[in-house]
Amino acid sequence: MNIRKYLINKKLGTFWQQEIFKNLLVTTLGEIGKKRKIDTKTFSNENDLNKEAGALWKERIQEGYEEPTALTDSEESELFQRVQKEPDFHIRIELAESGLSKISEKNRKKILQSLVKDCDCVMMGLGTADEEEYDGEDEGYPGMIQEETGLTPADAREVYNLKFLTYKENIKQI
């Protein structure tokens, strides 16, 4: 099961995203297309995970973050155009995730398909192992993603694989 929450702070121009994958809590804070910091924390039980997730949620609400409103048809169209025109797949992921909770059901599949494709690109760059065992497409990529997100290559593999699998499953449910 995946639980996903997305908040924005219009005053600061930032977003905060929280995802729960079984016993893993993933939080992302950043500005779309500029910078982001991803943190992960593994819990031994669901109660502790939910308590931490709830506390983080309340903290962000108190800081002025709020849930985004539903997109109008023209805003959805603009979002799709931005996603399609963006050359950097990391930014495409951020853009698509920013609209995921606000998008209409009729367009949800398109945005999920974009997320599956781009999460797959991240995983190809990360490969399946590090250092001498590295088998990805660009030896500098694991270091770049660590610098960009704060995630170690192993954590990035776990997070993006979970996102990939979740988005694929969400497509099947449509």
The structural domains of the chain, with segments of one domain joined by +, span 2-62, 73-172
- How much is the pTM? 0.89
Rounded mean pLDDT of 82-93? 92
| Residue 151, helix vs strand vs coil | coil
pLDDT in tens, 15-58: 999 999 989 999 999 997 788 899 999 999 999 999 999 999 99
Strands of the sheet with 24-31, listed across from one edge: 2-9, 14-21, 24-31, 35-42
Domain 2-62 is in which class?
mainly beta
pLDDT in tens, 94-115: 999 999 988 998 899 999 999 9
pLDDT in tens, 116-170: 999 999 999 999 988 888 888 889 999 999 998 999 999 999 999 999 999 999 9
For residue 34, the model assigns a pLDDT of 81
Q: Are 28 and 12 in contact (CB under 8 A)?
A: no
Q: Are 24 and 38 in contact (CB under 8 A)?
A: no
- Indicate the pLDDT class of residue 1, thresholds 50, 70 and 90: low
**Selection from 128, 67, 50 nearest residue 102 by Cα:** 67
pLDDT in tens, 59-78: 999 999 999 999 999 999 99
Roughly how many angstroms between the first and final C-alpha of the chain, as a whole number? 16
Q: Are 119 and 93 in contact (CB under 8 A)?
A: yes
